[in-house]
Amino acid sequence: MVDLRTFNLSGTLSSLSLLFRPSLCIPQAVARNFNELPLPLSRAFGDDKRFGKVNIRAVVLDKDDCFARPGENEIAPEFKAQFSRLRAEYPHPSLLIVSNTAGTLSMDPNLTSSALLSAATSVPVLAHRTKKPGCSAEIMAYFHSHAELRDLKPEEVAVVGDRLATDVVLANSMGAFAIWVREGVVAKAEKSLFARWEYGIHDWLKRRGVESPVPGSPFE
């Protein structure tokens, strides 16, 4: 029987959309692992002249297999120093954790995991009804609720995560920048079948010249 708590309708629909727009799963930048994220994150995009001058003012950060082991609500020891640097570079309210486990109301209805994660990281965790990649409106609503980010544009947001079908598609669908963390906390052999497939899909598309979209508001 299918566990409806883990079913990701948003992700399923986005996977179908990739048949028509495969560029949605191509990130604007790739970091080998969390420790190799350049700070400030704007530096990650400087080699692509299509983007012009990039100014990242807010960051959406994935949890599972990005900076934490799946199912755990704390920073992996090897990434703690880099996490502190990222938090210092993007102080509150510019850094937001968006997970498809902690903070997702179908998986974390009492927000217990969300509270534990926020306490461990000193970073807010978004409570959201729709799983990634379908929660862009909730993300922007959070940022816009703070006076210093009320004028934030999608192209001033960077989404950092280890999954193409959720994190990267989220970024490209909302007109933000994506940084794909190619090697997460878990070894490739231990990842899910779908996660392992993403490596081959990304490399196959890149060999065929598929480029990432140029960020900008999809509503303009």
pLDDT digits (tens, 9 = 90+) for 58-70: 999 999 999 999 9
15, pLDDT greater than 90 = no
16, pLDDT greater than 70 = no
Q: What does the mean pLDDT of the chain come to?
A: 91
pLDDT band at 3 (very low <50, low <70, confident <90, very high): very low
- Domain ranges in the chain? 24-207
93, pLDDT greater than 70 = yes
pTM (2 d.p.): 0.90
Please tell me the distance from the alpha carbon of residue 181 to that of residue 36, in angstroms, as a whole number: 9
Mean pLDDT computed over 67-76: 96
- In this predicted model, what pLDDT tens digit does every residue of 173-197 receive, in sequence order? 999 999 999 998 998 888 888 888 9
Please tell me the distance from the alpha carbon of residue 194 to that of residue 175, in angstroms, as a whole number: 24
- In this predicted model, what pLDDT tens digit does every residue of 134-172 receive, in sequence order? 999 999 999 999 999 999 999 999 999 999 999 999 999
Mean pLDDT computed over 11-20: 55
Give me the pLDDT at residue 13, please.
47
Considering only residues 193 and 17, tell me which one the structure prediction assigns the higher pLDDT. 193
Q: CATH 3.40.50.10490: does it fit domain 24-207?
A: no
- Cβ neighbours of residue 25 under 8 Å, at least 6 residues apart? 18, 164, 165, 168, 169, 172, 198, 201, 202, 205
